[in-house]
C-alpha cells in the first residue's frame, strides 16, 4: 500500500525488483503505479541504480562500530521466500538495537543459513572486529536460533530474553484446540503480571493445571522459564517492548 501511494520511484523500484519484475520491464511496471513519473527508467538506469545500492550496502556493512553502544537487541532470522538454485535454507539475519538515548537503529543485516550458530557467529564476530566492544544488556529473540550459542561465545555477559509470541505458539501447538484459548489467557497472565513474583506464581499455576494431561506443553514452557522472565530485571516502562520480537 505504501508503494502505491508514494510518488517516489525509489520507493517502488526495490519492491518490484524483489517481487520478480525483470530489469527490462521496470519502466512499464512502474508506469502503471506512477504514471509519467516513471518515464525514462531504462534497463541501463535500473542497472546503475542496482550497482549504487550494492555499493551503499557494502559501505554500511563495513562501517566503524567502535562508538556504538546498545542497551537492547531484537534478533531474528527472516526467510524471504525468494528462490534460486543456491538459496535453499538461506535467510536474513537481522539485529535491531536500542541505544542508551532510546533511539533504535539497524545493527546488522546479513546472510545466513537456516539461522545456524555458525551463521550468527560470523555476524557477531564481524561486529566485534569492526569495533563493537560489548553486546547489549539484553537480547530478545525466539529459542530456535543458533544465535544464543553464538552470543555466549562473543558477548557472554548479555542476558537472553525469549520471545513470548514465539513461545506461546510453541506451547499451543502441543495442546488440543479446545484448550488453546484458555491456555493463551493463562500464559498472558504470566508475562502481564505486575511483578516478577506474581509472574512466577502465574507460571506455577499454569504448570499445575496442564502438567498432568499435557506434559509436552508444560515442558516447552518450563525449559525457558528464567529466559522468559528476564525482562523483569529491567525498567518497568520497557517491559512491553522486551517481551516479544
**pLDDT value, residue 49:** 80
Rounded (5°) CA angle 98-134-128: 105
Measured between alpha carbons, how far is 15 from 101 in angstroms, rounded to an integer? 32
Q: What is the CATH number of domain 72-162?
A: 3.30.420
If DSSP codes are grouped into helix, strand and coil, which group holds residue 159? strand
Question: How many residues would you count in the chain?
Answer: 245
pLDDT per position as a tens digit, 7-39: 666 667 776 766 677 777 777 776 766 677 666
**pLDDT value, residue 65:** 97
Q: Which residues contact 236 (CB under 8 A, 6 or more apart)?
A: none
CB 96 within 8 A of CB 109: no
If DSSP codes are grouped into helix, strand and coil, which group holds residue 167? helix
User: What are the residue ranges spanned by the domains of the chain?
Assistant: 2-61, 72-162, 164-242
**pLDDT value, residue 145:** 84
Identify how many contiguous H helices and E strands the chain contains and give both numbers: 12, 5
Rounded (5°) CA angle 88-245-236: 165
**pLDDT value, residue 7:** 60
Q: Tell me how crowded residue 92 is: count the other CB atoms within 10 A of its CB.
A: 15
- pTM of the complete model beyond 0.85: no
**pLDDT value, residue 4:** 56
Residue stretches of the chain with pLDDT short of 50: none
**pLDDT value, residue 114:** 80
pLDDT per position as a tens digit, 132-168: 999 999 999 998 889 999 999 999 999 999 999 999 9
Amino acid at each position: 500500500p505504501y508503494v502505491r501511494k508514494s510518488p517516489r520511484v525509489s520507493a517502488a523500484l526495490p519492491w518490484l525488483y524483489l517481487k520478480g519484475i525483470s530489469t527490462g520491464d521496470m519502466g512499464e511496471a512502474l508506469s502503471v503505479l506512477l504514471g509519467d513519473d516513471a518515464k525514462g527508467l531504462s534497463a541501463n538506469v535500473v542497472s546503475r541504480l542496482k550497482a549504487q545500492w550494492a555499493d551503499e550496502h557494502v559501505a554500511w556493512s563495513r562501517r566503524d562500530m567502535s562508538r556504538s553502544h546498545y542497551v537492547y537487541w531484537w534478533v531474528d532470522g527472516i526467510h524471504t521466500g525468494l528462490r534460486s538454485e543456491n538459496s535453499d535454507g538461506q535467510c536474513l539475519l537481522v539485529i535491531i538495537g536500542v541505544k542508551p538515548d532510546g533511539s533504535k537503529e539497524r545493527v546488522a543485516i546479513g546472510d545466513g543459513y537456516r539461522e545456524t550458530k555458525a551463521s550468527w557467529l560470523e555476524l557477531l564476530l564481524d561486529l566485534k572486529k569492526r569495533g563493537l566492544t560489548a553486546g547489549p544488556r539484553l537480547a530478545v529473540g525466539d529459542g530456535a536460533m543458533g544465535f544464543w550459542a553464538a552470543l555466549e561465545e562473543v558477548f557472554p555477559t548479555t542476558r537472553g530474553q525469549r520471545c513470548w509470541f514465539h513461545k506461546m505458539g510453541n506451547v499451543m501447538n502441543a495442546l488440543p484446540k479446545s484448550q488453546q484459548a484458555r491456555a493463551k489467557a493463562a500464559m498472558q497472565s504470566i508475562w502481564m503480571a505486575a511483578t516478577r513474583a506474581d509472574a512466577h506464581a502465574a507460571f506455577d499455576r499454569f504448570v499445575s493445571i496442564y502438567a498432568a494431561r499435557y506434559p509436552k506443553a508444560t515442558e516447552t514452557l518450563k525449559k525457558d522459564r528464567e529466559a522468559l522472565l528476564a525482562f523483569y530485571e529491567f525498567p518497568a516502562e520497557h517491559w512491553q517492548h522486551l517481551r516479544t520480537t
